[in-house]
Chains A and B, each alone.
Chain A
Amino acid sequence: MNVLVDHFGEFVGGFLVTLRLSAFAAAGALILGTLVAAMRISPLPPLRFVGTSYVNIFRNTPLTIVWTFVAFGLPKLGVHMKSYFPFGVIALTIYTAAFVCEAIRAGINSVPIGQAEAARSIGLAFHQTLAYVVLPQSFRATIPPLGSVIIAMVKNSALIGSFGYALDLLARGDALIGGQGESAVWCLFGVAIGYLLITIPLGLFIGRLENAMAVAR
């Protein structure tokens, strides 16, 4: 129990790294995922092919392998970084973007087909149909799956630290067990609290958002 008090600073430091890693990766994944989703529904076959392949590849590959490619493969191709943190952000971004894309597409699919048909029949073009009719309505159905994707990403970020390359929450908590012989129960309990401090409020916030938008209809 004392370990939580004695090494409080360690836990807070790790928590902040995890938070920073998640925030950067979430922003990246939302942007990249939107781009991939745009490709997937585009009228141009080559772009659709790329979007579909991207999703099928990265949704079915373990994050461990994506991380291997980014962190150890990129340096072999001459891309060097001062720390592994940016590599962590890149790996999480690439991996999560596939799930973000699917969440956005699921939202678009939830809009009744008549909406798009009506938009087209009054003469709106592809981008107008999307921008003025489909996307604004799809937003509501996109929030819940998008929320779980982001929460899953926060949890996945634990992988980056576990290789000992970023001093995130799990890495620092585990170092206390390994290096200083502290009790594993309390160290890991502290780590668990750190993650729950992110995932539970995030879940509640998304539930709130969902309710707020459901009322707006």
Chain B
Amino acid sequence: VSRQTTSVLFDAPGPRARRRAIIGSIVSAVVLLFLGFLAYRQLAAKDQFTYDRWGPLVDPGNDKFTTVWRRLGQGFRNTLKAAAYSIVLSVVVGTLLAVLRLRLGELARRNWPGIPRPVAWVLKGLAWVLAVLTRTFIEFFRGLPVLLSIFFAWRILPEYGIKLSALWYLVIGLTAYNSVIIAEIIRAGVVSLPRGQTEAARAIGLTEGQTLRMILLPQSFRIMMPALISQLVVVLKDTSLGFIISYEEAVRVSGQIYQYLDNLLQIAVVVATVFIAVNYSLGRLAIYVEKRLSQGPRTATLAAAVPGGPLGAAGDPSAAAEAVAQRVPDAG
């Protein structure tokens, strides 16, 4: 039952069902409006709609408007800055981690033909130990709250004499957490690719490293684009944790403004609206990219013309993306 066809769950309504649906809609709309009215009355009773509280935020003629929005602008710039640094670093570190995990797993399984037995065993053991270490690192940070990894950076680094600005504590903490998530996303993408890709690459003489770098990773990035964009939404939301380590991003700035204007609810609504607008657009973008991918690569017509042709299953990255998306759901 796909998104567009939820209506498959119910019949095209006949006259009686249509009448029932209209009555039901009206009743539920009235109930919802009534609930909304109750909320409105409570808000109004507590003076939450006064000009003093809303004016500085929405009325350009208000004398505090410019100051408030300049501060908020700085806050959002800082939010974007932290998010941009974090996502770029996370993708770089995450890719390295994914490569490390894939390569080490491969080396630990390899039998090292042509090398004396004992040396081969040592190499194999070494690769295995490193593989376990990488795996532990990934599982460790994956199981922790992102806030805790921010605390790791913020509390522990100064103890060793590493003093950074709040921005970098936040970026390091966010990167530690998100890079392992992205590593798993990319690895899942590589694993989901058809075996034929690796076999063909090996057959034309590419080494294992070249196969990964030139054949598998580019395809994995392509497949995982929607998941990576969703992760960007998560990073954007998580920059608001900078609030706790006194990084001056949007939520912290709004806290300062609220101290001054006593309009907690109003300013929270404004900041939330900006977040929702940006994140919602990113979400739509992810869906759009997913749709584009499910239309297949530019050679799709060719693949369709030759059923089971050279592209085979590889010509349909959406199937792989779907399989992976079930394993790596976004969970805030």
Contact = CB atoms under 8 A, between A and B. Distances in A.
A46 B244 contact: no
A61 B270 CA distance: 11
Contacts of A44: 21, 24-25, 28
B8 A117 contact: yes
23 contacts: A43-B9, A43-B21, A44-B21, A56-B276, A61-B275, A61-B276, A62-B275, A63-B237, A65-B251, A68-B251, A68-B268, A106-B329, A109-B2, A141-B326, A144-B326, A155-B145, A155-B146, A170-B147, A192-B144, A195-B144, A195-B148, A200-B139, A203-B143
B232 interface: no
Interface of A: 41, 43-47, 50, 56-57, 59-65, 68-69, 72-73, 76-78, 95-96, 99, 103, 106, 108-113, 115-117, 120, 125-126, 129-130, 134, 141, 144-145, 148-149, 151-153, 155-159, 162-163, 170, 174, 177, 183-185, 187-188, 191-192, 195-196, 199-200, 203
A76 B267 CA distance: 14
Interface string B2-19: 110111111101000000
B152 A188 contact: yes
A130 B10 CA distance: 10
B49 interface: no
Contacts of B271: 65
B280 interface: yes
A64 B8 contact: no
Contact of A60 (B5, B46, B233, B265): B233
B214 interface: no
Contacts of B265: 69, 73, 76
B42 A113 contact: no
B143 A200 contact: yes
A46 B147 contact: no
Task: Name the 3 nearest CB pairs between A and B, nearest first.
Answer: A60-B279, A158-B145, A152-B331
Contact of A46 (B29, B156, B233): B29
A156 B46 CA distance: 31
Contacts of B302: none
A98 B265 CA distance: 21
B43 interface: yes
B329 A113 contact: no
A136 to B, nearest CB: 14
B140 A192 contact: yes
Contacts of A62: 237-238, 240, 251, 275
Contact of A145 (B3, B143, B279, B326): B326
A108 B2 CA distance: 8
Contacts of B159: 183-185
B204 interface: no
Contacts of A203: 143
B202 interface: no
Contacts of B280: 56, 60
Contacts of A187: 155
A145 B329 contact: yes
Contacts of A185: 156, 159
Given A65-B271, A76-B48, 13 more contacts: A43-B9, A57-B276, A59-B332, A62-B240, A69-B272, A96-B332, A103-B329, A110-B326, A120-B8, A162-B147, A183-B159, A192-B140, A195-B143
Describe B's contact surface by its main secondary structure.
helix
Interface of B: 1-3, 5-11, 13, 21, 24-25, 28-29, 32, 42-43, 46, 48, 139-140, 143-148, 151-152, 155-156, 159, 233, 237-238, 240-241, 243-244, 251, 264-265, 268, 271-272, 275-276, 278-280, 283, 326-327, 329, 331-332
Contacts of B146: 155
Contacts of B148: 158, 170, 188, 191-192, 195
Nearest to A96: B332
B32 A61 contact: no
Contact of B9 (A57, A130, A158, A191): A130
A47 B9 CA distance: 16
Contact of A126 (B10, B25, B331): B10
Contacts of A149: 329, 331-332
Given A60-B276, A65-B271, A113-B5, A76 B46 contact: yes
A50 B32 contact: yes
Contacts of B139: 200
A204 B264 CA distance: 42
A157 B145 CA distance: 8
B285 to A, nearest CB: 13
Contacts of A56: 276, 280
A65 B28 CA distance: 29
